[in-house]
Structure formats: structure tokens, C-alpha cells
A and B are shown apart, each in its own frame.
Chain A
Amino acid sequence: GENVEQHPSTLSVQEGDSAVIKCTYSDSASNYFPWYKQELGKGPQLIIDIRSNVGEKKDQRIAVTLNKTAKHFSLHITETQPEDSAVYFCAASRGGGGNKLTFGTGTQLKVEL
């Protein structure tokens, strides 16, 4: 089955700096890669996703890149703000919402003033 590795496990940045979180996956048939933000006491919230026919996707301060050959994808957050502090999870799936998601181990992001 699919295996998703995520690094780093913790990340501390100064407000205004950029943050990068990286994931690798093992199943070459995976074609849907979402990123979730989980705040304390809440369920995961989708922040951005990318499909295997696209190499990069951007939404304001958040971007995701995908390298299918190397089987890795990354989350980039620019101009970080204190409200970006949370746990971020990457995930992978075959075919999007019709199939199960396999999650990475999570990254605790702390944005310091």
C-alpha cells in the first residue's frame, strides 16, 4: 500500500519568513495530493491540493509543487503569520474523493513574532 513520509516534524519560523514542508510517496498510481491544516481541537481543513497532471498550484500565500518522477511534493507558505501556526498534514490518494487517503506524519509549524 501507499506510504507517505513527511519532513520536518517541527518547524519554527519568524513571522514574515517562508515555510516549506516536504513529502514523499511510494505508490506511483497516486494522483491526488492534498494538504490539510489542523488547529488544536479541530478536524483537518483542506488548504490546497494538486493532481498529478499539474506541476504547481498556488493560492495566495500558499503553493504546492509536485515532482512525479521523484515522487515528492512540497507545501510552500510565504509571508507567514502567527495564525499559520498549526499542524500540517500531507496526504496521497489514487483518484481523489473516491479512494482512501494515506496521511503523512504531520508537521508542527510555529510562527514566532
Chain B
Amino acid sequence: SAVISQKPSRDICQRGTSLTIQCQVDSQVTMMFWYRQQPGQSLTLIATANQGSEATYESGFVIDKFPISRPNLTFSTLTVSNMSPEDSSIYLCSVGQGADYGYTFGSGTRLTVV
């Protein structure tokens, strides 16, 4: 299965600022997904990122708040913009490797907004 490197692993940010999270995969993958995991909660899908097209956002998530880039088949970024304390969560990237395979997750970015 793919190996995912996610950076930064954690950060403490001031409200009103933005943070960009990077996700690097060791092989080419078609589908990349970004999830949010609020403290003590399950994983909620933010958006699906395909290379060469606009990301598809889930209900409740908008591009202005969570812009995503997917410049190639091994890399993606998620930006959390104009942060507030409510954005404090773990953000995870995941890759899908086709219908016959499963999903692999990065180790996550633990974000605290103060």
C-alpha cells in the first residue's frame, strides 16, 4: 500500500491566520481525500481531490475556507484559512488506490488555534 508523509505533524496557530498542510505519497494515486477529526470524534470528509480538476467539497465545507491544490498524482495541499478556535482538529489526508484496493491514511496534522 502507499506510504503517506503529512506535514506538519502539529501546529499552534493564531486566530485569523492560515495554515497549509502538505500530503506527499510515495506512488501515483488517482484519488486523494482530506478529512477532519474533531477532538474525540469520528472522521468527516472535507473534500475529494483529483489531479487536474477542482476539488469536490462535502456539504458544510467551502473552497474559500479550505482551498485544496492537487498539482500532480503524488502531492496535495489543504489550507485552513482565517482560522478560529473551532478549527482546532486533526486533519488527515488519505489516498484511494482504485476500486480493488482500500484506503491509506497519513498520520495527521494536529492543529490548535488560539
Contacts and interface: CB of A to CB of B under 8 A. Distances in A.
A103 B43 contact: yes
By size class, the interface of chain B is 20 to 34
Contact of B96 (A89, A99, A104): A99
Interface in B63-114: 92, 94-108, 110
A100 interface: yes
Nearest to B44: A103
Contacts of A100: 33, 45, 48
B33 to A, nearest CB: 6
B43 A89 contact: yes
Contact of B106 (A43, A89, A101, A104): A43
A46 B2 CA distance: 12
Contact of B42 (A46, A99, A104): A104
Given A89-B42, A89-B43, A97 B107 contact: no
B29 to A, nearest CB: 8
Contacts of B103: 34, 46, 93, 97, 101
A50 to B, nearest CB: 11
Choose among B6, B42, B96, B97 the residue with the greatest number of A CB atoms under 10 Å from its CB: B42
Interface residues of A, number: 24
Given A42-B108, A43-B106, A43-B108, A97 B101 contact: yes
Interface of B: 1, 6, 30-31, 33, 41-45, 48, 92, 94-108, 110
17 contacts: A41-B110, A42-B108, A43-B6, A44-B92, A44-B105, A89-B43, A93-B103, A97-B31, A97-B102, A98-B96, A98-B98, A99-B99, A100-B45, A101-B94, A102-B45, A103-B42, A106-B41
